[in-house]
Amino acid sequence: MKLISSLILSGVVALTTLSTSFAAEEAKSSAPAKPDLAKGEASFAACAACHGADGNSAITTNPKLAHQHPEYLVKQLQEFKSGKRANAVMTGMAATLSEDDMKNVAAWLTTKEPKHGFAKDKELVALGEKIYKGGIADRQIAACAGCHSPTGAGIPSQYPRLSGQHQDYTVTQLQNFRAGVRNNSVQMTMVAAKLNDKEIQAVSDYIAGLH
């Protein structure tokens, strides 16, 4: 009787161990794969001519991508690929990338140190600072800092990092939002619609010097 009880107990233990092992393997297989930084770097090589070898573009009409939030980068690449965000060059580039490729590139870029930019016009930058930090109350224009933080660091998974971004690039994007050429952010379309050219230039100049 003791032998039978022992055998039953051993069987129960073995089944429990096996079940636990299967559960662990299933959880492991269903967990999202970690981004592959080496593959991300390799994929980004095709982007370096426009965005710089380390994501710090030297071309002021192309954005700096270094240290950008990976969730934001993946979203933009997905929307270039789907056509939700229009840009002939980027649509072609994104078309060749899988979801894993996008995540790998974005994860690699976020490890790169951003290079600081600088403001150019003292008078404009004062107006830009006022808009960025406080908005324009009488026209219901919200402060940029509310979403992108006072330092321009942004909020991961929600709002992109802006600090140090090229003035020329930011001006173009705000103008595109205002004109409806870029329409992948309702919030930015609403803000840009209320800004005039001087205000766009000013806030873009201020953002370039943020760090």
Q: Per residue in 32-43, pLDDT tens? A: 789 999 999 999
Q: 175: exposed, middle or buried (C-beta count within 10 Å: 0-12, 13-18, 19+)?
A: middle
Nearest Cα residue to 125 out of 202, 43, 68: 202
Residue showing tokens 């600090």: 163
Mean pLDDT for the stretch of residues 97-115: 98
Mean pLDDT for the stretch of residues 5-33: 49
Residue 25's pLDDT band (boundaries 50, 70, 90)?
Answer: low
pLDDT in tens, 158-190: 999 999 999 999 999 999 999 999 999 999 999
Q: Would the pLDDT of 7 be above 90?
A: no
Give the CA diameter of the chain: 94
> In CATH, what number is assigned to the domain containing residue 135?
1.10.760.10
Mean pLDDT for the stretch of residues 7-33: 49
* pLDDT for position 33: 84
Sign of the dihedral through C-alpha 106, 110, 111, 114: positive
Q: Would the pLDDT of 112 be above 80?
A: yes
- 1 assigned to some structural domain: no
CA distance 8 to 10: 5
pTM value is: 0.84
Query: Is 132 in the same domain as 190?
Result: yes
Query: Is 127 in the same domain as 105?
Result: no
Mean pLDDT for the stretch of residues 137-141: 96
Q: Would the pLDDT of 28 be above 80?
A: no
Query: Is 135 in the same domain as 195?
Result: yes
- 17 assigned to some structural domain: no
Residue 152's pLDDT band (boundaries 50, 70, 90)?
Answer: very high
- 12 assigned to some structural domain: no
Beta bridge partners of 159: 155
- 179 assigned to some structural domain: yes
Question: Which helix (DSSP H) or strand (DSSP E) does residue 38 occupy?
Answer: helix 37-44
Query: Is 149 in the same domain as 196?
Result: yes
Q: Provide the token pair at 22.
A: 């299967």
* pLDDT for position 30: 54
- 72 assigned to some structural domain: yes
Q: Residue 88's domain spans which residues?
A: 37-109
- 199 assigned to some structural domain: yes
Query: Is 186 in the same domain as 140?
Result: yes
* pLDDT for position 4: 46
Q: Which residues of 136-164 are buried (b: 16+ CB within 10 A; e: fewer)?
A: eeeeebbbbbebbbeebbbeeeebbbbbb
Residue 27's pLDDT band (boundaries 50, 70, 90)?
Answer: very low
Return mean pLDDT, the chain. 89
* pLDDT for position 87: 95
How far from 56 is each of 40, 50, 116, 171, CA to CA, in Å? 16, 9, 9, 18
Q: Which residues of 3-15 are buried (b: 16+ CB within 10 A; e: fewer)?
A: eeeeeeeeeeeee
Distance of CA 16 to the CA centre of its chain: 44
- 183 assigned to some structural domain: yes
* pLDDT for position 94: 98
Query: Is 144 in the same domain as 203?
Result: yes
Query: Is 143 in the same domain as 204?
Result: yes
Query: Is 79 in the same domain as 142?
Result: no
Tell me how many domains the chain contains: 2
CA distance 132 to 145: 6
- 26 assigned to some structural domain: no
* pLDDT for position 11: 45
